[in-house]
A = this chain, B = another copy of it.
Amino acid sequence: MLTVYLAGQIHDDWRKQFKEKASALELPLTFVGPMENHDRSDNIGEEILGKQPNPVLKDEAASKFNNLRTQVLLNKSDVVIALFGEKYKQWNSAMDAATAIALQKPLILIRPESLHHPLKEISEKAQVTVETMDQALQALAYIFEDN
C-alpha cells in the first residue's frame, strides 16, 4: 500500500478522474493532496483567523494553513505526482515538486509537451516525466506489477 500526494493545479477535477482510474485498476494506493476548492484555499486564513488588514496579509494567512496541510501530507507520502497544465502555471506546484525531490521521494511529472521548455529543469529532476494521467497510472502500476 503506497500513499501518493497529488500536487499541481486545483482548477479542474483531475484528481477525481485520477482516483477513479486508479480505483478501476485496483491499485493499492491512498491519495492525499491540497485543498481543491479554490475559494476555500484562498480564504482559509481569514476563515480561521478573521479579517486581515490587506490582501497580502489575507494571502499570507491562507498560505500558512495550505502549507500546514501540504507539509503533513507530503511527509506521509511515498510518491508525489505533480500535474502542470496549459492554463495554470502555479509556482507552488513547482515548490511541492522540488520539496518532494529534496526529501528523496520519487516524483512523477505530468505535463503537456507544449510546456517542455519552461519545465525542463524540474522534468530533469523528476524520476519520470509523462504527458497524460494514464501514463502516470501505468508508472504507478508498474511498481506493483508481478512477473
Contact = CB atoms under 8 A, between A and B. Distances in A.
Copies of this chain, tallied across the complex = 8
A25 interface: no
B48 A138 contact: yes
A89 interface: yes
Contacts of A143: 68-69, 72-73
A101 interface: yes
Contact of A94 (B53, B65, B78, B94): B94
B78 A142 contact: no
Interface string A42-61: 00100111000111110110
Interface residues of A, number: 73
B89 A91 contact: yes
Query: Which 7 interchain pairs have the tightest Cβ spacing?
Result: A102-B102, A98-B98, A94-B94, A36-B147, A92-B121, A53-B53, A63-B120
Interface string A75-107: 110110000100001111011111101111110
Interface string A106-147: 101000010011111111110111100001001100110101
A128 B98 contact: no
Contact of A95 (B56, B67, B76, B122): B122
Nearest to A70: B121
Given A78-B76, A97-B95, A63 B123 contact: yes
